[in-house]
Amino acid sequence: MFVSIELTLLLLAVYIITYFLNKQLPMRFLGLANHWIRWISFACVFSLILTFFEWSSRPEWVHFVSGLALWFILETLFYKISIHMLNISEMELFPKYKNDTDENLWPLNKEVLKVKELLSKEGFKFEETLKAQIVSHITIRQAIFLDETQKIRLNILFIPNAHNQIKLFYSLLSTKVSGENLIMDNQNMPFGGFYPKHWSVNRFPLCHSLKQLLKKHRKAIEKTADKWALLDEDILTKTNKLQRELERENQDMGFLNMPNNEEKGQISPEGCFRIWTEMWLLAYFGKTLS
């Protein structure tokens, strides 16, 4: 048999194990494995059902491939609905940040203790906390740090997930004297948009370690002979300036349509396709659009 019951049961068992491991352990590659195993398991179950009930006389490999195609269609439909709901919601794609005076910022867990220890070891100094309201009940908060040279700015983003748990993401910024920005982050949320030409953006969705991300960023700085500017500009002003640059670029590139007299733009059909593509890349390959 092309697809056996034993193989299907084994795949389902592995899927359940990776699903719960992915919930407990901060290893993002488990999420990739979980997506692939779920897809293959669905195709196996679909093939077995067609064979068992004799609903098709085609070869089993055709049933299996049909199961893969059906799952692709179903997941695509789910992604399309998600993007449509985002597009008609009040969510701000490029929100404006303001100062945050709330002291209850850091969640209490082992990851936070390791991050604070690393910040102290690497010589990062806390600057300020910012927040942005993307919808009425969701606030993105970020703590801003500068290293001893004042040439690397670290943004630690505190983003609530669907289970109301606070997840930490990291973004590193350095700016050349010429004005080019070098940005590295480990966010695994789909963006799908465009970056200004003077931005060099590298995203590592599978990297959950601030230490490794910082190592990559410093290595990229050392590779260039360009001079790097001191990041002494007002942080709130700089952050909102970057947000506006990003918004204008996506308007100019056709990712975002801004109707007349409307404060919030809508994602264009081309932009929706880019987000859908990035959702697939993130889910199954851990990569983003360049």
Output the average pLDDT for the chain: 89
Show me where the domains of the chain are located. Answer: 5-88, 98-285
Q: Is residue 176's pLDDT more than 80?
A: yes
CA distance linking residue 116 with residue 130, whole number of Å = 18
pLDDT 10s digits, 136-170 = 778 889 999 999 999 999 999 998 876 677 889 99
Comparing 10-14, 201-205, 264-268, which segment has the lowest mean pLDDT?
264-268
Which one has a higher pLDDT value, 44 or 21? 44
CA distance linking residue 152 with residue 218, whole number of Å = 9
Q: Which residue type sits at 200?
A: S
Which residues partner with 267 through β-bridges?
Answer: 256
Comparing 150-154, 160-164, 200-204, 219-223, which segment has the lowest mean pLDDT?
160-164
Q: What are phi and psi of 4, to 5 degrees?
A: -105, 160
Q: Locate tokens 């630690």: which residue? A: 156
Query: Considering the chain, what percentage of its residues have pLDDT values greater than 70?
Result: 96
Q: Is residue 231's pLDDT more than 80?
A: yes
What element of type H or E holds 223?
Answer: helix 210-223
Half-sphere exposure of 105 (CA within 13 A, CB side): 20
CA distance linking residue 156 with residue 186, whole number of Å = 10
What element of type H or E holds 56?
Answer: none
- The token pair at 172 is 């590193």
